[in-house]
Structure 1
Amino acid sequence: MHRGHHLAYAMWGMAVLCISLAALRLYTRIRIVKFVGVEDYMYACTSLFFLLFTIFIQISVYHGLGQSYWTLSVDDTSNSIFWTYVANSFAVSGNAMAKLSMGLFLLRVVQFRWQKIALWTAVAITVGTSIALVVMLWNQTTPVQTSWDPLRTPGKWNLQIQPLTVGLGVWSSICDFFFAMFPWLFIRSLPMSQREKVILAGSMGLGVFAGACGIIRTVVLSKLNVFNFTLDFVPYFAWTGAEIAVAMVCIGIPTLRPLYIKTLGRNTTNACSNHHRTNDASELPQYTTHKRNNLNKCPPVRARDSGYSQASNISRPPIAYTKVRSESVDDVMSDSSKKQAGLIWVDNEVRIQEDVVEWPLQN
């Protein structure tokens, strides 16, 4: 197993992570928050581009990526380099989309004009340089085929793309650090709980790891030997994928907060219900109870319309309110049927809890 296989396995693992995050985010925005913004579509497109990046890396590995250039056939070297060009195009575009998605997300919560200008400037420079890099990647030689098949297609080199790629890598790392630190400038003024603020700023603060991946990728690229492309460029593609994947984690975690709240509330309710069902039959239920007929020295109870008893200790998730309605067994059974049965009926007030999630970022 050579280095190309290791690269392919790592890329597929990151691709599964990105696709899963995108699916969960769309589900949260459509079914729970009931609002889908442009940044959500950009996030989904980023995951799609990352998947295509992974697929084309896999095709390149099949043709020889990860092995020495000089041990492969001419056809294999040509095909391997060509498919890395295709893969790199989607990687550069996906990286720009990730930055754009993060910028659009932050634009929904910033309040001051200078903050919006700073975000738009960072996003515009990233998108512009990424488009320029992709165009230059496919036009660095005349004819174009010379750049991936130099042994069989003589031609002229119009420019050296490696310096521009290094420059874009530096700027990408700067943007990662910028987006990681930027939320701390305005997070205190947002109308949300302290816990929400820490989660939002902390998750986006993970962008420092994306910036670290970008720095490593840039350093690796600056020291690569282009004359052994199929072997030496493997670390570059690995760190490129890592930077995009970490950025998607940073963007995805804050938007999944409503899904977490809803899931936590459902699990808490189910756990409470299971607990009451497993109680001994001789014990009274933990709900509000009262007897219709006072027989055999029964303890005094409150009237039906006197309200509910104190709720059980079910912790409610933050940024959610609880709708409670009650249904009594007494409403189902008629008075005549109870008298005929000759039994003492205990009416159990059943609490049905429904969590309604509110999310401050659903503009």
Structure 2
Amino acid sequence: MHTGHQLSCAMWAMAALSLVLVALRLYTRIRIVNFVGAEDYMYAGTGVFLLLFAVFIQVSVHYGLGQNFWKLSIDDSSDAIFWTYVANSFAITGNAMAKLSMGLFLLRVVQVRWHKIALWVAVIITTATSIALTIMLWNQTTPIKASWDPLRTPGTWNIRIQPMSVGLGVWSSICDFFFAIFPWLFIRTLPMSRREKFMLAGGMSLGVIAGACGITRTVVLSRLDVFNYTLNFVPYFAWAGAEIAVAMICLGIPTLRPLYLKTRGFASAYSNHGQSSHANEIPRFVMYERKASNPAPSAHDSGISYARTDNNIKTPPPTHQTQTSNDSVEDIISGYQDQHVGVIWVKNEVRIQEDVAEWPLRG
């Protein structure tokens, strides 16, 4: 098995893993969180682009990618280079889309003005440089065909694409590290427990691995000999695909927390709240004890005692049920109210308050 076949196998494995994460994320957002944002569509698009990258790498391997350029026929060498151009277009765009997905995700969470400005600057520069590099990739020579069919099509080279690709690789790695470190700037302000904050920020910080892949890809690209393109560029395409796949893993894992909670039996609030008016917010529940000002003798000793309710003590509005021993607190109160119409005796009132908080994982 030559290096081309090894490359195609690795790309198919990465694409399969990424598509599984796409499916899990969309299921989580649609069925559990009941909210799908632009970053989710961007994430799904990244998975599709990585799949197309694997498809066209496979086509290029069929024509000779991974073999010595000078041992291939002219037709095969030309076709192999052409299909790597197609694959590389999806790699460049997919890498940018992964960063856009992360940027849009963070823009939904941050509140400080300079945080938003920094994110928008990163998103705009990434988009602009990726579009520019893709255009330059297909316009290196005059005529265009001379860049992938140099042995039969004489032409003039207008652009040195390799230095441009190295520059974009440097910027891409900077963005990966920026998006990995950035969540630690605002994570402390989110309405979550300390453990959840560290889990969320830690998951996003896995982006440093994608940054490391980007650095490796850039170093490999800067040292490649273009005169044996079909053989020497295999490591570059391997690291390009790895950078996108790792970025998708880092983006996908933090957003799957609601799915994890549902499998553990803790996510009933997600599905219930999805039918309320706040379709893109997740509730959190706070239980507290409130003592009556004039307690009366207990009515019975069943584990819950009752005192007369004054006018200033109101029955809490209906909300999501929280299980006590067998019945919810609200069911016990309402059942007792049926037996004593107009009078409720309460000694210790336990209220369930729905405090709607912005859930940072909703994207």
**Which TM-score band applies after superposition, normalised by the shorter structure?**
0.7 to 0.9
Asked whether 1:211 is paired with 2:214, we answer no
Separation in 1, partners of 2:73, 2:301 = 87
Separation in 2, partners of 1:182, 1:110 = 10
| Structure 1 segment 110-129 matched on structure 2, within 5 A | 110-129=110-129
8 Å contact from structure 2 (residues 92, 134) kept in 1: yes
Asked whether 1:256 is paired with 2:252, we answer no
Separation in 1, partners of 2:62, 2:303 = 71
Aligned to 2:174: 174
Asked whether 1:65 is paired with 2:65, we answer yes
| Structure 1 segment 281-320 matched on structure 2, within 5 A | 306=302
AA aligned to 1:127 is: T
Residues 190, 155 of structure 1: CA spacing in aligned structure 2 closer, same or farther, 3 A cutoff?
same
Which blocks of at least 5 consecutive residues in structure 1 are unaligned?
268-302, 309-320, 328-356
Local SS of the residue matching 1:36: coil
Residues 322, 13 of structure 1: CA spacing in aligned structure 2 closer, same or farther, 3 A cutoff?
farther
Number of residue pairs the alignment of both structures matches: 287
Measured after TM superposition, the shift of residue 111 of structure 1 is: 1.4
Local SS of the residue matching 2:151: coil
Asked whether 1:45 is paired with 2:45, we answer yes
Aligned to 1:271: none
| Structure 1 segment 86-235 matched on structure 2, within 5 A | 86-235=86-235
Residues 75, 145 of structure 1: CA spacing in aligned structure 2 closer, same or farther, 3 A cutoff?
same
Aligned to 1:280: none
Aligned to 1:6: 6
8 Å contact from structure 2 (residues 191, 358) kept in 1: no
Aligned to 2:81: 81
Separation in 1, partners of 2:301, 2:56 = 68
Measured after TM superposition, the shift of residue 156 of structure 1 is: 1.1
8 Å contact from structure 1 (residues 258, 359) kept in 2: no
Aligned to 1:278: none
Residues 358, 51 of structure 1: CA spacing in aligned structure 2 closer, same or farther, 3 A cutoff?
farther
Structure 1 segments (4+ residues) deviating >6 Å: none
| Structure 1 segment 28-39 matched on structure 2, within 5 A | 28-39=28-39
Measured after TM superposition, the shift of residue 193 of structure 1 is: 1.3
* Normalised TM-score (structure 1): 0.76
AA aligned to 1:18 is: S
Separation in 2, partners of 1:180, 1:123 = 14
AA aligned to 1:186 is: F
Which blocks of at least 5 consecutive residues in structure 2 are unaligned?
268-298, 305-319, 328-355
Aligned to 1:55: 55
Aligned to 1:245: 245
AA aligned to 2:359 is: P
Measured after TM superposition, the shift of residue 22 of structure 1 is: 0.6
Local SS of the residue matching 1:256: helix
Measured after TM superposition, the shift of residue 265 of structure 1 is: 1.6
Residue by residue over 1:181-202, the C-alpha shift from the partner in whole angstroms, topping out at 9 and shown as x without a partner, is 0000110110111121111100
Measured after TM superposition, the shift of residue 358 of structure 1 is: 8.8
| Structure 1 segment 326-337 matched on structure 2, within 5 A | none
Separation in 1, partners of 2:253, 2:32 = 15
Residues 114, 263 of structure 1: CA spacing in aligned structure 2 closer, same or farther, 3 A cutoff?
same
AA aligned to 2:118 is: A
Residues 211, 127 of structure 1: CA spacing in aligned structure 2 closer, same or farther, 3 A cutoff?
same
Aligned to 2:359: 360
Separation in 2, partners of 1:322, 1:144 = 66
Residue by residue over 1:314-347, the C-alpha shift from the partner in whole angstroms, topping out at 9 and shown as x without a partner, is xxxxxxx8644959xxxxxxxxxxxxxxxxxxxx
Measured after TM superposition, the shift of residue 106 of structure 1 is: 0.5
Separation in 1, partners of 2:321, 2:154 = 72
8 Å contact from structure 1 (residues 38, 104) kept in 2: yes
AA aligned to 1:163 is: P
AA aligned to 1:46 is: T
Separation in 2, partners of 1:72, 1:358 = 62
8 Å contact from structure 1 (residues 33, 359) kept in 2: no
Measured after TM superposition, the shift of residue 305 of structure 1 is: 10
Separation in 1, partners of 2:172, 2:321 = 44
Measured after TM superposition, the shift of residue 306 of structure 1 is: 3.6
Task: Provide the aligned C-alpha RMSD in A.
Answer: 2.1
Residues 264, 140 of structure 1: CA spacing in aligned structure 2 closer, same or farther, 3 A cutoff?
same
Residue by residue over 1:232-284, the C-alpha shift from the partner in whole angstroms, topping out at 9 and shown as x without a partner, is 000000000111111111111111000000001279xxxxxxxxxxxxxxxxx
8 Å contact from structure 1 (residues 92, 130) kept in 2: yes
Measured after TM superposition, the shift of residue 304 of structure 1 is: 11
Separation in 1, partners of 2:301, 2:42 = 53
8 Å contact from structure 1 (residues 28, 259) kept in 2: yes
8 Å contact from structure 1 (residues 174, 211) kept in 2: yes
Residue by residue over 1:46-66, the C-alpha shift from the partner in whole angstroms, topping out at 9 and shown as x without a partner, is 000000000000000011000
Tell me which moved more, 100-109 or 192-201: 192-201
8 Å contact from structure 2 (residues 39, 101) kept in 1: yes
Residues 305, 97 of structure 1: CA spacing in aligned structure 2 closer, same or farther, 3 A cutoff?
farther
| Structure 1 segment 19-34 matched on structure 2, within 5 A | 19-34=19-34
Separation in 1, partners of 2:137, 2:191 = 46
